Homo-oligomer: A and B are copies of this chain.
Amino acid sequence: MIRCSKCGQVHAITKSGVVRGKQRYYCKDCRVYFTIPPVTGIHSDDYDKTAASRPGHIATILDIARALNISKSTVSRALQGHTDIKEETREAVVNMARQLDYQPNLLAKSLVRSKTNTIGIIVPEFVNSFFPTVIIGAQEIAGEAGYNVLICQSQESVRTEIANTQALLASRVDGVIISMTRETSNFDHLRVFERHGIPIVFFNRTCEQIAASRVFVNDYEGAFAAVEHLIVNGYKKIAHIGGPSGLRLSQNRLKGYLDALKQHRLPVNDKWIIQHDLTKENAWNCAEKLLSPQKRPDAIFCVNDPAAIQTLLYAKRKGIKVPEEVGIVGFSDDPISSIIEPQLTTVKQPVSEMGKIAMRILLEHIEKGMGQYSPFDTILPTSLIIRQSSVRK
């Protein structure tokens, strides 16, 4: 509350410019200009170093500036490597920064630049090795380009995925890389990124409804090759444990499976195509459902390796011989696949590469800026790794 220096009143006070760094006030009643005298006699010039070195304080450019008796702007410019700063000044600043343990406040920088240099990544889980491996690849590229990565797990829940998108928006990430949950069928929550000009790149579990770049493997060909391989090895009654029908990946792997059967004039048996929700437990149940009946298939093509591994374990548990009685092929080349016995035949995909490529594309989009790029698909090749689970001796 400001009082007039003459009449002591508060009601007729307005601000009136600034003199020597102090706010000047004007009392309309008294027609008098005045400033607020400092409470203590100490002039603000003598900078109290204790303030900056109080426990926990992280030095700011202001601390550096005061210590060197120069301005914030100069410090800022020196630290950024601005060209028109005297070499001598720059050195002094850099040294003082080191001395004061200065660490730039990215929050402030990001706020003023409207750029966080942070990429959000949303993955359904990281229990299995697939997503961690993608993240490692993505993080490598991001790091090289000076970007940080904010990792979110949706835990295969759309609710969590929505919360993740909000968290990323609130953190003002510059871009997003996402592989959706198995249950995502409405994509409205992802449109906020579109609306705000934040580029998205989908990978693995992609989305047709949103105009964004996508990176995935040729699921159709991979599946086709896997099933054809089973056929060539003499399997005739081939079943399929498919993924959630909402995922493009499931649809394409299913299509590859069906086409391979058709092309080789093998019958398609609806009872032998079952849907798997991608949980470990359900994979076991699927295996049970397929392998229990008397009239059971002689081979199973699984939508991914975790499912194939559970199937293999189930068969072993039940004493069903693999590959003699039943052949099994998975998808992904999980590290476990080469360790389990019999070793699992699988469709290998370039996992870490997928993360790298997704990140490269995203950074490109960010660089170009909203509306200045066109989304595109990158389809990576797969290769069939033939091991023991699908080859009768």
Contact = CB atoms under 8 A, between A and B. Distances in A.
Nearest to A57: B196
B58 A107 contact: no
Interface in A120-152: 126-127, 129, 132-133, 135-136, 139, 148-151
A127 B127 contact: no
B133 A170 contact: no
A119 to B, nearest CB: 12
Contacts of A16: 21, 23
B370 A55 contact: yes
Contacts of A23: 15-17
A381 interface: no
Given A17-B21, A151-B151, A107 B111 contact: yes
B136 A127 contact: yes
Contact of A105 (B111, B167, B339, B371): B111
A268 B149 CA distance: 48
Given A153-B139, A341-B341, A107 B116 contact: yes
A162 interface: no
A101 B171 contact: no
Nearest to A21: B17
A380 interface: no
A116 B21 CA distance: 32
A45 to B, nearest CB: 23
A127 B116 contact: no
A34 to B, nearest CB: 15
A103 interface: yes
- Give chain A's interface secondary structure class: mixed
A336 B133 CA distance: 17
A309 interface: yes
A9 interface: no
A127 B56 CA distance: 35
Interface residues on A, range: 35 or more
Interface string A332-344: 0001100111000
A190 interface: no
Contacts of A150: 148, 150
Given A15-B23, A167-B148, A196 B127 contact: no
A246 interface: no
- Residue of A17, A104, A195, A371 contacting most chain B CB atoms (<10 Å): A17
A234 interface: no
Contacts of A135: 126
A153 B172 contact: no
Nearest to A370: B56
Interface string A160-175: 0000001101111000
A359 B223 CA distance: 42
Contacts of A57: 196
A105 B170 contact: yes
A340 B107 CA distance: 47
Contact of A126 (B126, B167, B195, B196): B126
Contacts of A313: 339
A104 B55 contact: no
Interface of A: 15-18, 21, 23, 55-58, 101, 103-108, 110-111, 116, 126-127, 129, 132-133, 135-136, 139, 148-151, 153, 166-167, 169-172, 192, 195-197, 309, 313, 335-336, 339-341, 370-371
5 contacts: A56-B370, A101-B192, A107-B171, A111-B111, A127-B136
The 5 A-B pairs with the shortest beta carbon distances in the complex, nearest first, are A56-B197, A17-B18, A103-B169, A106-B170, A107-B111
